[in-house]
Amino acid sequence: MIEIQSELEGKHFDLFKLEQLLKPLGYSIGGNWDYDHGAFDYKIDDEVGYQFLRLPFKAIDGQLDSKGCTVQLQRPFLLSHKYQRGIDDHAEIGNASASFNQFQEPVDKDASFPEKYIEVGKSLVREVESVLLH
């Protein structure tokens, strides 16, 4: 994980409006959210797993699934997940669990981030700052 300092840190936004501004840029709300926190993810590449920029946020007024929720952006970071090739020996079996656990467990959830994408991540943060703050 590589943190990127940003003017976005601490800024408040209406979650719905924030999503409307970030989706056209290629961001999606990551699947790892809860009622009080979440993140927008931008997939940079899928080189042996995937590399992405994450824009984390926390709810400060309301819950993420409620209308009018206000969120506070936190420090953006670059993250790489490396997946094993082939069959996952630890995959859960059964119809109920299979509908939720379709993907392999990461070999390394915090894999080293490829150097060649660090500047790309910084550029993406500057782009978001420009769209949201200027």
Q: What's the pLDDT score for residue 93?
A: 53
Instruction: Name the pTM for this structure.
Output: 0.77
Which domain does 67 fall in, by range?
1-48+60-71+108-133
Give one DSSP letter per residue of the chain, joined into a string: -EE---TTTT-EEEHHHHHHHHGGGT-EE-S---SSEEEEEEEEE-TTSEEEEEEEEEEEES-TTSTT-EEEE---EEEEEEE-SS--TT---SHHHHHH--SPPEEETTPPPPGGGHHHHHHHHHHHHHHHH-
Asked if the model's pLDDT at residue 115 lies above 90, the reply is no
Answer whether residue 83 is part of any domain: no
Percent of the chain with pLDDT over 70: 76
Number of domains within the chain: 1
pLDDT digit string (tens) for 15-56?
Answer: 999 999 999 999 999 777 888 999 999 999 986 778 999 999
- Mean pLDDT lowest for which of 8-12, 47-51, 123-127? 47-51
Q: Is residue 78 part of a domain?
A: no
Give CA–CA dist 113/13, Å, rounded: 29
